[in-house]
Chain A
Amino acid sequence: MNEKIVIIGNGIAGSTLALQLAKEGTGSVTLISDESSYFFSRTALMYVYMGHLTKEQLEPLSRESWDQSPIQRVKARVLSINPENKELSFRNNEGEVKQLSYDRLVIATGSKPAFYDWNGQEAEGILGLYHLSDLEKLEKWAPNASACPEAVVIGGGLIGIELCEMLLSRQIKTTLIIRENFFWSSHLPESDAQLVEKHIQSHHLNLIKEDELLEIRADDTGRVASIQTKKGETISCNLVGLTTGVRPNIEFLKTSRLELDKGILVDEYLKTSDPSIYAIGDCAQLRNPLSNRSAIEPVWYTSKLMGETLAQTFSGQPTPYNPGIWYNSAKFFDLEYQTYGRVHPKALQPENEQHFHWETDEKGMTFAYDKTSGAFLGVNTFGIRLNHRIVSSWIETAITIQEVIRRLEEAHFDPEFSNRYYKQINHAFVQNH
């Protein structure tokens, strides 16, 4: 018998799972998406607006290979699911509502931008940066600096800074407003945040800290004209980017009786409260998060790993989700950032976690280690690339910070001929300890 596996969402989680299942010949796979017919890299949307890539180049797998694969792709919007009958209903491109039955259902619907009911947020010229359609909106509202001289972006996370970089690439005067007293303070220690702030300001981004959006004002045509902040500042603008985070995209499940919290609750096998239904990616919330990890981790790498893990389970090898050592990366304009393990910002820093920060001329690293044992906990690195496998193994085996600093050059991953800062770092560390 051929099990009917239906996956809702063709992002990195859903597509990874579908491709893996097709490769192993497990079940007959249907992949549903209402956003795009072909899997694309959401994290690279910015490069299309900036002109580095074409839309089609965002697609990691050629259209030809999708068309040849046994995966059945359906472009449709899922309206609701009915676990009792193992059935879901969807609206297809032609607007017809249809039913589809499944043996196993996987929900991989990702996130959506979190808007917080600001006054005036229905005006024209307001967007998040998440969907393919947001690119079209940007091209319509902010094609160039003469059509859109000024823009305001609210919220200082990774998406917010990307949107700023995009707008500035077309010479649009851009202001970024963040609530906190330094950039991305939910994730970065202050020293790192300052390094990033210095860099983004050198790119002529106007950064306003410790202020919040109060309301958005439109002109007579209904188009955004200005915003007002809580501190009473009025900033004229033709576009407002709302990048105050994302939340799981699960509204369509409200009637399903699946156990939900912020996301869809899943066990370590990524199974929901219904034994035939699984959830992976941004929309999944682990009932028992692993130590030092969050219950919801809306990032590319964990979504990919969840897809791979579930594929193993479906192919007859039940595998618990085990993401290993945390890692992530980003690029703030021209400043590359990688993180391995945990380097907590001040507000979340456990008492035993000590930091050693080193920086020079737009490059820097912050190492976290245990105050008593000296065990290495993690590192943030800016402008210097480190080897993922090596640094992870150091964290896993909990070698001491002294040893990490001494052996740091082993994790060298910068291009050939790049300056090497390991002696400097070693020197600074020895002087401080």
Chain B
Amino acid sequence: MQQKEDWHLTEKVLHELGRGDPFAAAIRGTRMPMMITDPRQPDNPIVFANQAFQDLTGYSRDEIIGQNCRFLQGPDTDRDAIERLREAIRAETPINVDLLNYRRDGSTFWNALYVSPVRSEEGETQFYFASLLDVTERVEAHAAIAVQKSDIEAQVQSRTADLEAALETKSLLLHEVDHRVKNNLTMVGSLLRLQARAIPDKALRVTLETMLERVDALATVHRRLYQNRDIHRFDAGAFAQDLTSDILAGSGRDDIVLETEVASLQIRAADATALGLILNELIVNAVRHAFADERAGTLTLKVYREGDMGRIMLCDDGPGFAIESVGETIGRTLVSRLSRQLRAETVWRNANPGTCVLVSFPVAE
């Protein structure tokens, strides 16, 4: 009770500046809005509010004293925050909570409220001490940032959707074009094959069939293009193996055994056609000349990488031949011109037995 009487003393001192308890004077004079409530009175009324509190809320002392501090709340004050505050007061524990409060003139401010119980030596809660901090700017800045953030997220989402749609269109288009190229190549092959069948002259037919083999080599390239996720790269190793198997199968020569040792070798997709045509000439030559006259044997294909060079080696165990002496002129010209185009080097050597041809070219990183 003594303490309560002291309190009344400071209430009086308020009107007599310069006298009384210096702590009470400090609380009265501080720029921070503060108040004290008395939980022992019905409805825990405010028994003290300093000048800063009056300045912040616009209420005069007479209007404040005796009120429960809920008189600062209004329709937009968050119910959950109020509930947390009530709970803390019921439990007599300190609490920090941001509340939207209303001034006397109806305007609002964000109040970072701190309330803590003041206990007697016996541990009984005698008062609640509360400090208020106007954090409207901070809260509004946060809200503005949240709005901006969600705006930006919406924009990013919409842009991403646009890009995805564009990509989808592009993939569809690539797919469609790829499909048409393949169909047209199939038609070219079919046309040539049908024509070759109808030609009685053997030499002419052989020439046409040679053309057909080249078109087939292009077809094999195209079947492999765009199979990877990376449409700019082409696996020359798998392709060389495909093409060699295809040509051997097509020759009907099951007496030629194919041995392969093939690593994956990525080249630029743009170089695939030229490489395909070169390999086609080399393989066809080997089949025609190394294994002529139904001679059985083994064809060895090796694809590997050495430093930044890719190498494709094709060896037969035939009687050996010189490139100058075999194949039609156009075949040799194709190999030499296309090698130059690929910055590749194509060399034959006598392997005794047989012949090896080695194509070396720079590989894509």
A and B pair up: no
- Partner-B contacts on A (CB < 8 A): none
- Partner-A contacts on B (CB < 8 A): none
